Structure 1
Amino acid sequence: MIEMQEISAGGVVYRKSPEGLEIQLIRDRFGKISLAKGKMEPGETVEETALREIQEETGMIGRIVAPIDQISYTYTHSVHGETEKIVHYYVVEALEGDLQAQVEEINGVSWFAPQEAWLQQKQQGYDNNDSILRKALEYIQAEVDFS
């Protein structure tokens, strides 16, 4: 039985660089490819949570362009037991900042060309993020072969 619910938010961060469109991916503390996200704090909206967590984890200040979707899954919390986690994801444009991983939370953060980002996600990411990244790439009209 699920004891608790936890709300998190994050985003698929992109930027337009001289090399073209780039997508930000993080490597989490388990060594998997993922997206910047984190827990909502009291008094925050999910949008504020997403932007704060992206800034804290990756050093980038962004703006929300569009909501993508939400995913939910259950995990065992060390104190509360079975916990349902709901994560709200947004398409976020990076405006400024220096890319810097929050080492307490994640192992690394990098920019990738859209096709490479998709391949990284498929090879080393969490399955439930496939649809999130795909929807974001489609929204920003990145040229990606999803096959």
Structure 2
Amino acid sequence: MEKEKSCGAVIYKYMGDRLVFLLAEMNRGHTSLVKGHVEDGESEIMTAYREIKEETNLEVVIDNDFRQIISYPPYKSNTDIIKDVIFFAATPVKGRMKKQKEEVDALIWCSYKKAQKMLTHEGDRGVLNKARNYLINKPRLKYSEEDLMRLVIPSKIYLKSYLETRVHEEKTSDDFVNAFVPDVLKKIEDARHGKNLPYGWVSCTYLWLVKGEEFIGETSIRHDLTDGLLRFGGHIGYRIRHEKRRRGYGTKMLRLTLDYIREIFGFKQVLIT
């Protein structure tokens, strides 16, 4: 049986004391919660963040203590393919809502009762019901832009901010991982897939810590350990851009990196030297 996977979120906010939810009326004629396919190298939460940003333009905080999964055959012509869809809870902190015209006809904030009537699929309605019960029974938290920091797969969206680190590093000779490498995104992708590596190097996944489109730091996850890495280096290397140091960002990035490793690599032990 072949598997597909998508991730998204029940997006909510409070209007006074009233809890409302964001639905997407899609170009293909159905109304759904925001979700999309997992891309190469992404964790579940990475996919959810990316899809929410692409479809709504909102910067959200995701609550992964709420995690629901629905499974179904997405293609009537081939029931051997099963899609798993993972939903978190998410609330916007920043950004002006703007639909992704290529896929979305309209974005609508609505009450729970209206959302239950509008959602096309029973699975989405069940997830919404569980999310509502979860949210009304948890303390209402206030979030700031500092809570928007997250790990991403390196991409052109963040490249300009990433390359700005070179200005400082050139002056201080405090080399940033890959900062001076031509075609840095291609090099990063090759490293993840074990291609065109320098002699003695191992496959390595690079992730960037970002806030909005601002590059904060970089972490590297080595897929295997040589004798040298067992003595010095371990599985994880990381740097925070110079002007962002001593703010606790390194600790946050390390915690997020360990979460990623557990999900993607399944390592039972992680060596940090």
Quickly say closer, same or farther: Cα 1:41–1:81, change in 2 above 3 A.
Answer: same
Instruction: Assess if the C-alpha contact under 8 Å between 2:73 and 2:79 holds in 1.
Output: no
Cα deviation digits, residues 43-95 of structure 1 (max 9, x gap): 111011011101101111111113231011112399x9952211100111111
CA positional deviation for 1:38: 0.4
- Residue 94 of structure 1: aligned partner: 92
C-alpha spacing 1:102/1:136, structure 2 compared with 1 (3 Å): same
Structure with the greater alpha carbon radius of gyration = 2
Q: Which residue of 1 aligns with 2:18?
A: 20
Deviation at 1:14, TM superposition (A): 0.7
The residue number in structure 2 matching 1:132 is 127
Taking the aligned partners of 2:21 and 2:134, their CA distance within structure 1 comes to 13
Asked whether the equivalents of residues 37 and 50 of structure 1 are also in contact (C-alpha less than 8 Å), the reply is yes
**SS in structure 1 of the partner of residue 98 of structure 2:** coil
Say yes or no: does 1:33 pair with 2:28: no
Name the CA distance, whole Å, in 1 between partners of 2:31 and 2:75.
21
1:1-147 map, 5 Å? 2=1, 4-18=2-16, 20-65=18-63, 66-76=65-75, 82-121=80-119, 125-141=120-136
Count of aligned residue pairs for this structure pair: 136
Compared CA separation, residues 81 and 138, structure 1 to 2 (3 A):
closer
Higher percent of residues as strand? 1
Which stretch of the first structure deviates more once superposed, 99-108 or 110-119? 110-119
Instruction: Provide the rounded CA distance (Å) in 2 between the counterparts of 1:76 and 1:116.
Output: 28
Higher alpha-carbon deviation: 9-18 or 36-45: 9-18
Q: Distance in 2 between matches of 1:83 and 1:29?
A: 23
Q: Equivalent residue of 1:43, what SS?
A: coil
Partners of 1:57 and 1:9 lie apart in 2 by: 13
Counterpart amino acid of residue 52 in structure 2? I
Contact conserved, 1:68 with 1:135, CA < 8 A, in 2? no
- Which string of whole-angstrom CA distances, capped at 9 and with x for unpartnered residues, describes residues 121-145 of structure 1? 3xxx211111100001111119xxx
SS at structure 2 position matched to 1:101: coil
Give the structure-2-normalised TM-score. Answer: 0.46
Q: Provide structure 1 residue ranges, at least 5 long, that are not aligned to the other structure.
A: 143-147
Q: Which amino acid in the other structure matches residue 74 of structure 1?
A: P
CA distance in 2, matches of 1:15, 1:47: 19
> Residues 66 and 131 of structure 2 are in contact (CA less than 8 Å); yes or no, is this contact kept in structure 1?
no
Q: How much does 1:120 deviate?
A: 2.2
The 3-state SS of whatever aligns with 1:75 is: coil
Asked whether the equivalents of residues 10 and 37 of structure 1 are also in contact (C-alpha less than 8 Å), the reply is yes
Gaps of 5+ in 2: 138-273
Q: Greater relative contact order: 1 or 2 (C-alpha under 8 angstroms, separation 6 or more)?
A: 1
Write the distance in 1 (CA, Å) between the matches of 2:75 and 2:110.
32
